Structure 1
Amino acid sequence: MTSSSSELLTLGISYKTAPVALRERLALTEVEMERFVKQLVEESVVHEAVAISTCNRTEIYLVSQDPVEAETSLLGALAKRADIRPTELAGLIYSPRNCDAARHLYRVTSGLESMIVGEAEVQGQVKRSYDSALKAGTTGPLTNKLFTAALQTGKRVRSETGLGSSRTSVSTVAVDLAADVVGDLAGRDVVIIGAGETAELTAQALAARGVSTLFVANRNAHRALSLAERFGGAVVSLDELPARLATADIVVSSTSSPHPIVGCEELELVMRERGGRPLVLIDIAVPRDIEAACGELTGVTLYDIDDLQAVVARNMSVREGERTQANAIVEDEIVRFARWMGQLDVRPTITALREHGTDIVEAVLAENASRWESASPRDLARIDAVARAVMQRLLHEPTVRLKSMQEHGTSTGHGRLQLVRELFALDEAADVVPAAADGCPVPADNVRALGGRRRGA
């Protein structure tokens, strides 16, 4: 039997569970995100859906009355997109539910799940993902509450802790890596492929080291020109890229192109022109902008987004106190979310319990109507009143206890509600029992990152 309660479910992969070669196959552009979530909610099993896709993760947040079927359906859709078997993808997917799913999103938005802990870009990425789902019309009461609360949590973490005070980002780490490889960047010929937010942060980090950069862009040529004016660089079209590669020392690429921009065959021709001069390529795009085979060419040193992890591990030292405080803020907000979800559960459960009791009274009275043929209308009214009074008294204490759970938001509330529903067969008797809230909440000292949690773990 399928439960009628709606549950929150997340399916995702991240840099913690899957290499960039797989993440890029599941990456979604903004247009693709809208299309993907629309297709999901067109299936009756999924009621709400929001997709998040960044260089380090692709996650889908769903609301469904049948989370098992929804997970199976979504896993199949993701596997089809990645062109691999669902069983192969299943081992790399994490799938927290309800408050565990909310906690994970809160941590993602706060930068606690980022490769560079505390990085600020993810807040904007989550907001744009939510806006995309709003535009697609695939959000609802639960996901609206979830994402609004997650964004608020991210703001709290950044304003109340020093977690993001270092302003370190993927872009700054990429520039640090370039400096590690070639030494002093001043006077180096640096090319940035792309003109988005990541490209801007890269140019900013390079400018701080006295480097004027060349922007290569096609679609965002106007934005690239604006960036060039700010950072003292220049702009060329994508058609001119081969000529620029022939003179560059370092190339940092961060476009949103679904296809490679620098191919191995083309780069091989460029390297012949360079006369043995080395070239450093840093590809921080997902999907990747530079074919992996380019790294095998003589004189070429290629790094992708996953290679930055070693630099992060060496250079990043987040103060434990800041991380602990950020975790405490997340747990504080999760308690609020748990209380909200608990309220959704309690009210219809009480209504369903009362209606169930009334149904039983009316059924028993109807079954015994033939026994009271000689009873007067006044006697029948008394029988009816006594039967309903017994029902009211029997359900009085459970009702009081359920209301108390709603008022205080107890962490064991959902388990008790589920027990009540099972004891009185309310999932069969009632049509609607809103969102479940199992897993809500746990103490802050028991928090762990869900990014490495496998399905079934």
Structure 2
Amino acid sequence: MSGGGELLCLGISHKTAPVAVRERLALTTKEAQSLCRELVDTDAIREAVAISTCNRTEIYLVGDPVHAETELLSRLAARADTRPTELTDAMYAPRNCDAARQLYRVVSGLESMIVGEAEIQGQAKRAYEAALEAQTTGPLTNRLFTAALQTGKRVRSETALGEGRASVSSVAVGLAREIASPAHPELTTLNVVLIGAGETSELTAQALAAQGVRTIFVANRHADRARSIADRFGGTVSSLHDLPDRLTEADIVVSSTSSPHPLIGVDELALVMRDRQGAPLLLIDLAVPRDIDPQCAELDGVTLYDIDDLQSVVARNRSVREAERVQAEEVVEDEIQRFARWMGQLDVMPTISALREHGDAIVEQVLAENAGRWESASARDRARIEALAKSVMQRLLHEPTIRLKSVDRDASHGRLQIARELFGLSDGVSETSSDAGDEAGEAEVRPLRRRGAGPAR
């Protein structure tokens, strides 16, 4: 988009990087807001929205694509304590309609580890609301996220992609049942400890309750939230201070907090395992950054799974029919075409406005130059002459206006330049407008492709 910047997505996901890399780029809501504010304070970036979940961190920007990408990559590398070049292989950077397509697919659940999972819709909405609160959005990102959330709703209402409401939590509980089944055919005989009281823990408690589990200890810093989950699903609340005691009694532990540091270290767990006298312990870590030190897996009697380990389970038990995925992708593409037409107006409308202003100026100039030739004309006659002149101008510009609106986006820049030269319009006219409507026009698709950016369509 000449003059006003382009739409860019820079991201990393479970498809392009392991959890050990993703956790270094994970953002809390406050960290996402802070990063977006820093970005829009630079000369290269005008709008910014960041999404960070257990499986992805994606930042959507509007600005100069080259400088914006460099600026953001530098800041992410500093956050990950690594060189930018070490991140590039794991990151994708689609632009314009490909960036929009990426967000539409994410919100629709097509890019999720559990295809069709519904939680991402709420996560994307909260990320957008956080950016609104931080005042880092603008005309393009506002339109983008509003349309993406609407697309997600269409996918879930018009297709069966999310049928069964599968989630990372339900897969984790299924994994726990599978592993525990040799000695315990049912989970009802086991002690389960949930660490955290967020959405993932709530869904885990719900999935456990569906299996008949009632012995659920919820450990969390926020007692009220933990008590609410425990009351709903037949569990009890324990403080994090008492976590070692709970671990000593537990058979299964599922952790999913937003802590920036591990809550269970290898040394502490070694003491717990000594007290357990050889009783096995299953740990499932759904957090990013991870709540459980990976070295805990080396302790005798400990079985540890992290969020990436669930991918193999998901692949083995994938139940989404291909027809449902295809139908969902058709909805996404339909909405992308709508967004493309809107983006096309961002290029065309300023030139059309300048063309009309140029025509109005010519009419006013001609009327002023000939004002002395109809002194005897009445005010009504003068109004008719002015209306006639404007009508001629509007009819003359009608066909060029239609052609400019309908031109293919790939050829629009050259066509707009020719129109400006033919009509003597200023070369400095901005080619971005926040007031563009939904008229016809095609948006440019120029992704900076890297691994994970997805195919062009």
Q: Structure 2 vs 1, CA of residues 451 and 111 (structure 1 numbering), >3 Å: closer, same or farther?
A: farther
| Aligned residue type for 2:58 | E
The answer as to whether partners of 2:409 and 2:443 remain within 8 angstroms in 1 is yes
Q: 1:438 aligns with which of 437, 444, 455?
A: 444
The answer as to whether partners of 1:349 and 1:417 remain within 8 angstroms in 2 is no
Cα offsets for 1:300-354 (capped at 9, x unmatched): 1100000000110111221111111111111111111111112222110223456
Match in the other structure for 2:19: 20
Cα offsets for 1:249-287 (capped at 9, x unmatched): 110000111111001110011111111111110000011
The answer as to whether partners of 2:4 and 2:430 remain within 8 angstroms in 1 is no
The answer as to whether partners of 2:2 and 2:430 remain within 8 angstroms in 1 is no
Q: 2:81 aligns with which of 60, 83, 102?
A: 83
Q: Structure 2 vs 1, CA of residues 271 and 127 (structure 1 numbering), >3 Å: closer, same or farther?
A: same
The answer as to whether partners of 2:36 and 2:131 remain within 8 angstroms in 1 is yes
Q: 2:275 aligns with which of 273, 276, 290?
A: 273
Match in the other structure for 2:404: 402
| Aligned residue type for 1:254 | S
Say if 2:46 is the partner of 1:40. no
The answer as to whether partners of 1:349 and 1:433 remain within 8 angstroms in 2 is no
The answer as to whether partners of 1:3 and 1:427 remain within 8 angstroms in 2 is no
Report deviation, 1:290: 0.3
Report deviation, 1:455: 12
Match in the other structure for 1:319: 321
SS across alignment from 1:329: helix
Say if 2:160 is the partner of 1:162. yes
Distance 2:178 2:95 in 1: 42
SS across alignment from 2:140: helix
| Aligned residue type for 2:121 | Q
Match in the other structure for 1:201: 203
Distance 2:451 2:195 in 1: 30
SS across alignment from 1:271: helix
Cα offsets for 1:134-182 (capped at 9, x unmatched): 1101111111111111111111111111111111100000011111111
Judge which range, 15-24 or 37-46, deviates more: 37-46
Report deviation, 1:428: 4.5
Unaligned runs of 5+ in 1: 362-376, 382-390, 406-411, 442-448
Cα offsets for 1:379-403 (capped at 9, x unmatched): xx9xxxxxxxxx9999775433113
Calculate percent identity across the aligned residue pairs.
65
Unaligned runs of 5+ in 2: 363-368, 374-392, 435-441
For the aligned residues, what is the CA RMSD? 3.0
Distance 1:225 1:76 in 2: 42
Match in the other structure for 1:452: 452
Say if 2:235 is the partner of 1:233. yes
Match in the other structure for 1:221: 223
**Residue correspondence of structure 1 range 92-107 to structure 2 within 5 A:** 92-107=90-105
The answer as to whether partners of 1:192 and 1:213 remain within 8 angstroms in 2 is no
The answer as to whether partners of 1:11 and 1:96 remain within 8 angstroms in 2 is yes
Q: Structure 2 vs 1, CA of residues 427 and 418 (structure 1 numbering), >3 Å: closer, same or farther?
A: farther
Say if 2:67 is the partner of 1:69. yes
| Aligned residue type for 1:329 | V
Judge which range, 34-43 or 420-429, deviates more: 420-429
SS across alignment from 1:39: helix
Match in the other structure for 2:55: 56
Match in the other structure for 2:385: none
Cα offsets for 1:84-106 (capped at 9, x unmatched): 11011111111111111111111
Q: 1:337 aligns with which of 336, 339, 348?
A: 339
Q: Structure 2 vs 1, CA of residues 429 and 396 (structure 1 numbering), >3 Å: closer, same or farther?
A: farther
Distance 2:308 2:237 in 1: 28
Distance 2:265 2:315 in 1: 30
Distance 1:77 1:260 in 2: 24
Match in the other structure for 2:116: 118
**Residue correspondence of structure 1 range 250-269 to structure 2 within 5 A:** 250-269=252-271
Q: How high is the TM-score relative to the length of structure 1?
A: 0.84
SS across alignment from 1:206: helix
Distance 2:72 2:192 in 1: 42
Report deviation, 1:58: 0.2
| Aligned residue type for 1:296 | E
Cα offsets for 1:201-246 (capped at 9, x unmatched): 1011111111124334343211111111111110110000001111
SS across alignment from 2:189: coil
The answer as to whether partners of 1:48 and 1:138 remain within 8 angstroms in 2 is yes
